[in-house]
Amino acid sequence: MSLTITKARQNLFALAEAAARGERVEFAHKGTKFRLVAERNVSKLSRLKPLAVLAEGVTLDSLQKDFKDLKTQLQMDWEQRQL
């Protein structure tokens, strides 16, 4: 669909939706043709930035070691209570 810039301005939101559906949207201004093209759909999740949830100086390896040590200690405490 090809329009004048005046018609494009009047129907901008409808044209944006048409371009998002993949329709070809063009308009002319002072002899120059312009094409409205939607970018590929981007997931909202892809814009998320990672959040540092570990305290400074704590690494994943040290955290895993601490969990393993805690599990061992809890196992030993549980076994002692069973006796």
Number of domains in the chain: 2
Closest CA to 29 of 8, 10, 60: 8
The pLDDT of residue 78: 93
Using the predicted structure, report yes or no on whether residue 80 has a pLDDT greater than 80.
Answer: yes
> For residue range 52-77, what is the model confidence (pLDDT) as tens digits?
788 888 888 999 999 999 999 999 99
In a domain, residue 78? The reply is: yes
In a domain, residue 25? The reply is: yes
- Spatial neighbors of 61 by CB under 8 A, at least 6 apart, are none
The residue type found at 81 is R
* Residue 3 CB burial class (10 angstroms; 0-12, 13-18, ≥19): middle
Positive or negative CA dihedral for 37, 43, 49, 50? negative
In a domain, residue 44? The reply is: no
Q: Note down the domain range covering 68.
A: 53-82
